[in-house]
Amino acid sequence: MRRLDQLLANLGYCSRREARAWIQAGRVTVRGVVVDDFGAKADPADVRVDGEPLDHPDGLLLLLHKPAGLVCSHDEREGPNVYSLLPLRWRGRNPAVTSIGRLDKDTSGLLLLTDQTELVHRLTSPKHKVPKVYRATLSAEVSRALIPLFASGTLLLKDEKDPCAPAALKILSPREAELTLTEGRYHQVRRMFASQGVEVLALHRARFGPLELGGLPVGQWREVPPGTFAAT
């Protein structure tokens, strides 16, 4: 049961003050009955605004095809962000919709977005080892010697005290490789290749756990079916 004014504000409909005005104006019903007491509590599934059921009252989980050029930070000073691609109402949610892990500004590909804080913690925790697959375009030919090195669990990145967890490298062509990581350190793919003198010229995330982009166009999102990460 949730307080009506708080519920509408947290789902991004409007401010709490505006929610009170909407409720007093009779725009909100609970089980078909107008409730003009903004402090009343209700099960979100029973609430209608202007006759419409609430917009995703149980939370959002979205898969976005992130374009290069947008940041995952909410800080406007860091430039245009991925949240600008979402409907306005979702951008006003509290808890805010946020990315599950981050992709660099220059990285494209599969990015999960959610307002479910528990899910963010669970899926970014190294303990859960969710595999993430990256495709990298490289500045130089990639040596096959990197395959056992990256798989060894001994590669130590600059300024870090723990070596990288074993990572699977697949060479796709002389300057293209696919790398599967189970952790998400800062700039990890770029830094792993840089440690071997190879620059990543372009980076794309193709997979996150069981999810792939499929044919989703760049800049578009789709909902992830509930229960997808239930067992993770």
Cite the active site residues: 104
Q: Min. distance of Cβ 219 from ligand URA in angstroms?
A: 17
Sequence-ordered list of residues with C-beta below 8 angstroms from that of 143, at least 6 positions apart, any chain? 196
Q: How many CA atoms lie within 13 A of 196 on its CB side?
A: 21
- E strands of 11-166, at which residues? 28-30, 33-34, 41-42, 47-49, 52-53, 61-66, 98-99, 107-114, 132-138
Stretch that binds ligand URA, among 7-15, 37-45, 101-109, 217-225 (CB under 6 A): 101-109
Instruction: Give the residue, chosen from 7, 60, 169, 189, that forms a contact with ligand URA under the rule CB under 6 A.
Output: 189
Are 203 and 104 in contact by the 8 Å Cβ rule? The answer is: yes
Q: Residues 124 to 153: which contact ligand URA by CB under 6 A?
A: 134
> Is residue 187 a contact residue for ligand URA (CB under 6 A)?
yes
Alpha-carbon Rg of the chain, whole angstroms?
22
**Segment contacting ligand URA (CB under 6 A): 12-20, 25-33, 155-163, 181-189?**
181-189
Q: Is 122 in the site for ligand URA (CB under 6 A)?
A: no
Which of 10, 81, 98, 107 is in the footprint of ligand URA by CB under 6 A?
107
Q: Are 135 and 110 in contact (CB under 8 A)?
A: no
C-alpha neighbours within 13 Å on the C-beta side of residue 147: 7
Choice from 70, 100, 203, 224 touching ligand URA (CB under 6 A) = 203
- Per CB under 6 A, the list member of 9, 71, 188, 198 interacting with ligand URA is 188
Question: How many chain residues interact with ligand URA (CB under 6 A)?
Answer: 9
How many whole angstroms separate alpha carbon 185 and alpha carbon 146? 19
One of 29, 55, 73, 104 touching ligand URA (CB under 6 A): 104
Q: Which residues bind ligand URA (CB under 6 A)?
A: 103-104, 107, 134, 187-190, 203
